[in-house]
Every structure is written in C-alpha cells, then in structure tokens.
A = this chain, B = another copy of it.
Amino acid sequence: MRYGIVGTGALGGFYGGMLANSGADVHFLFRSDYEKVLKNGLRVDSVSGDFIVSPTDINAYRSTIEMPKCDVVLVCLKTVSNCHLKSLLPPLLGSDTTVIMVQNGLGMESDLARDFPGLSIAGGMAFICSTKVADGHINHADFGELTIGSHTVKDPEVLEKVGIDLKNAGVPAKLVDDLNSFRWRKLVWNIPYNGMTVIMDAGTDELMGEPHMRQLINELMLEVIAAGNTCGTHIEEDFAAKMMDYTDSMRPYKPSMKVDFDAGRAMEIGYIYSNPIRFAAENGFSMKLTSVMERQLKFLSTKYLLR
C-alpha cells in the first residue's frame, strides 16, 4: 500500500512518520518544512519513542503534482484549507484510491464527495496530543488513537489493511461502522472546549473550575448529544457526564482551536460549529447554546484574524 500524506503537521507528521518509520511506503506533502526536512529529515519526539525519518529515507514533496498516485491518502490539513483539496488531490488519485479525512468536525467527507463524485472516502478522528514544534519537528505528548470509518469506501478490505499497517507502525487504530456517530461523539467534547477556551481565553482546567461555566459546558454537551441524536446517532445522555469526568482527569489542555487562535491562524469554525448547527437545523433541532458560541467565534475571527 502506498500512502500519501497531505498536510504534514501535528497529525500528518505523526501518523505518516510512524508509518514511514515502520517501513511503509509513505509520500509526504510539505510546505514551509520542505527545505528543513530535506536537510534533517522528519523528527518525531514521541512518548512511545523518538525517531527520525532520515533525509535519505523520506519521500518529501513540495507539490502534489510531483507525487505518485497513492492507494490511500491521509488528508491531515486543517479544515480551513479544505477549499484547496479540489486542486491538491487529483495527482494522487488512481482508480482505487481511498481518501481518509483525518480532521475534526462534521461534513468534510460529503463536501469532498461533491467535488469528487464516486471517490472512495473515509473519515478519521485522531485522539492525540501532538504538536508541530518547529519545521519538520513533531512532538507527540500523549495518546494517539486513530478512529477510521467509511463514508463511501467501496472495498471494505482497504480500511482493514490501513488498520493493520497502522497497528504494525505502533498506532492504535480502530475501525468503526458508524462514522457519523463517532464524529458527533467527538463534537460532544470539541464544541464546548475548543470554542470556549478561545472566547474566555482560558484553559480547560480553568473552565472546569468555575461552577457556572462547568454547568454551561455540561448543557452544551447535552445539546450536542440531542442534536446528534436527531441526526441519526444514538449517543446516550450519560456520555456528557463521562466527558466531564474525562476532562477533569486531564492535564490542563489547550484545544487545537485555542492553539490556532493564539498563533493568529484561522479557526475551524465551519466544520466544528456551523455544519453541526446546520445539520441539526435540517433535522428540526435548534442548537441555541452552540449558536451563541459560533457567532462569538466568528466575531473574534473577524476582529483578530482576518484583518
């Protein structure tokens, strides 16, 4: 299996790096990191063992036009760059290529299917603490599970092979039948914390330490669960309590949206907030609390990021 990694950042660098380090045939698309990686390789400092994919071993590219067709493409871009996929992906696509969208939020697979009718598409959700600390240098601090589910994958064996390759590479991979449910489940955490840490300029621990905010977060979780369940999921209500407990047990954490905002980068408002709100509305459910956050985030985006 030949793998293409589109977006070699915190996620693509880690998962692609692990695959390459295990001997898989991996081809990386780099942008600003390209020169540095040609010189020093791709460095991954990981809780499960540091390694470097050396300059002689790495298949590094600056453009997808130079890349070979791949059996599996992991799209590890931030969703704010998905508008570029229409031009980025075609060189990588053979007749049997499967594209896995390793991203947060909802609706990216159907957006991609609209641009590439008939394409074999899956979704991936990373449960990981990983950061790009410098060009060509990834720090993997905790966790690492990658959950993958089909959106329009025709050959069920493809994802099984991907799962095996990932496991051989030391990545805990999990294949799921119901991608939609897993995307909504992840939103139960992402919707309250990603945006609220930005809006309140606070860490997860600070939010959880103030009783009124804690209650609001719990209500947001219940709203996401109710919204998901009107969109075909079957998430039990006590999943909110589990996520609260889980967050209490975490070390203070800066969600990806807060990291992006603090660095002056675009926030993934569309796929994490607007799409869930829209899908729920189409099914007759109004995500009122979430809508407040969405508008506040759009305001902050206009005020601080788009100037």
Residues 277-307 of chain A, each 1 if its beta carbon lies under 8 Å from chain B, else 0: 0000000000011011111101110110000
Q: Are the C-beta atoms of B199 and A295 separated by less than 8 Å? A: no
Kindly specify which of A56-64, A103-111, A208-216, A235-243 makes contact with the partner chain.
Answer: A208-216
Contact for A299 among B202, B289, B294, B299, CB less than 8 A:
B202
Q: Are the C-beta atoms of A216 and B295 separated by less than 8 Å? A: yes
| C-alpha spacing A212/B270, complex, angstroms | 13
Known: A288-B288, A288-B289, A289-B288. A199 touches B302 (CB 8 A): no
Chain B residues, Cβ within 8 Å of A300:
200
Q: Are the C-beta atoms of A298 and B213 separated by less than 8 Å? A: yes
A297 to chain B: closest residue by CB: B212
Shortest Cβ distance from residue A203 to the other chain B in the assembled complex, whole angstroms: 11
Known: A298-B212, A298-B213. A206 touches B303 (CB 8 A): yes
With A202-B303, A206-B303 already in contact, 6 other A-B pairs whose C-beta atoms are closer than 8 Å: A200-B300, A207-B299, A213-B296, A216-B291, A289-B291, A292-B292
Chain B residues, Cβ within 8 Å of A288:
288-289
23 contacts between A and B (CB under 8 A): A199-B199, A199-B296, A200-B296, A200-B300, A202-B299, A202-B303, A206-B303, A210-B298, A210-B299, A210-B302, A210-B303, A212-B298, A213-B295, A213-B296, A213-B298, A216-B291, A216-B295, A288-B288, A289-B289, A289-B291, A289-B292, A292-B292, A292-B293
Chain B residues, Cβ within 8 Å of A216:
291-292, 295-296
Q: Are the C-beta atoms of B212 and A295 separated by less than 8 Å? A: yes
In chain A, positions 45-97 with a C-beta closer than 8 Å to chain B are none
Chain A residues within 8 Å of chain B by Cβ, number? 23
| C-alpha spacing A81/B144, complex, angstroms | 52
**Assembly of this chain: how many copies?**
2
Q: Which residues of A contact B (CB under 8 A)?
A: 199-200, 202, 206-207, 210, 212-213, 215-216, 288-289, 291-296, 298-300, 302-303
| C-alpha spacing A215/B291, complex, angstroms | 11
Chain B residues, Cβ within 8 Å of A212:
294-295, 298-299
Chain B residues, Cβ within 8 Å of A199:
199, 296
Shortest Cβ distance from residue A206 to the other chain B in the assembled complex, whole angstroms: 7
| C-alpha spacing A202/B199, complex, angstroms | 12
Chain B residues, Cβ within 8 Å of A289:
288-289, 291-292
Chain B residues, Cβ within 8 Å of A202:
299, 303
Shortest Cβ distance from residue A215 to the other chain B in the assembled complex, whole angstroms: 7
| C-alpha spacing A202/B294, complex, angstroms | 17
Contact for A213 among B206, B213, B299, CB less than 8 A:
B299
Chain B residues, Cβ within 8 Å of A292:
216, 289, 292-293
| C-alpha spacing A142/B106, complex, angstroms | 49
Shortest Cβ distance from residue A239 to the other chain B in the assembled complex, whole angstroms: 21
Chain B residues, Cβ within 8 Å of A215:
295
Chain B residues, Cβ within 8 Å of A303:
200, 202, 206, 210
